[in-house]
Amino acid sequence: MKYTIFGESHGPAIGVVLEGVPAGLELDLKAVQAELDRRAPGKDPTATARKESDTVHVLSGVFEGKTTGAPLCMVIQNSDQHSGDYGSIRYTPRPSHGDYAGFVASKGCLDYRGGGHFSGRLTAPLVAAGAVAKQALAQHGVGVWAHIANIDSIWDDAFISFTEEDDDCTQIAPPEDLEALPRKEFPVLNDAAGERMRAHILEVKAEGDSLGADIECAVVGLPAGLGAPDFGRNVEGIFSQYLFAVPAVKAVGFGAGFLFSQLRGSEANDPFEVRGGKVITKRNNAGGINGGITNGMPVLFTVTLRPTPSIALPQESVDLRTGEEVELEIKGRHDPCIAPRAVPVIEAAAALAACEVMGL
- Domain ranges in the chain are 2-358
43: pLDDT strictly greater than 80: no
Number of neighbours of residue 211 by Cβ within 10 angstroms: 23
- Rounded to 5 degrees, φ, ψ at 152 are 50, 50
CA distance 342 to 40: 10
Q: To 10 degrees, the CA torsion angle through 217, 222, 227, 231?
A: -10
pTM > 0.85: yes or no? yes
How buried is residue 131: exposed, middle or buried, by Cβ count under 10 Å (0-12/13-18/19+)?
buried
User: Is CATH 3.60.150.10 the right assignment for the domain spanning 2-358?
Assistant: yes
d(CA 344, CA 322): 41
* Residue 207: Cβ within 10 Å count: 12
CB 346 within 8 A of CB 215: yes
- Between 45-54, 112-121, 276-285, 303-312, the lowest mean confidence (pLDDT) is in 45-54
User: Do residues 253 and 301 lie in contact, with contact meaning Cβ atoms separated by under 8 Å?
Assistant: yes
Alpha-carbon distance of 160 to 154, in angstroms, equals 17
Measure the CA–CA gap between 164 and 67, rounded to whole angstroms.
45
Number of neighbours of residue 30 by Cβ within 10 angstroms: 7
**Cα-based torsion angle of the residue sequence 64, 66, 70, 72 in order, rounded to the nearest 10 degrees:** 100
pLDDT in tens, 254-312: 999 999 999 999 999 999 999 989 999 999 999 999 999 999 999 999 999 999 988 88
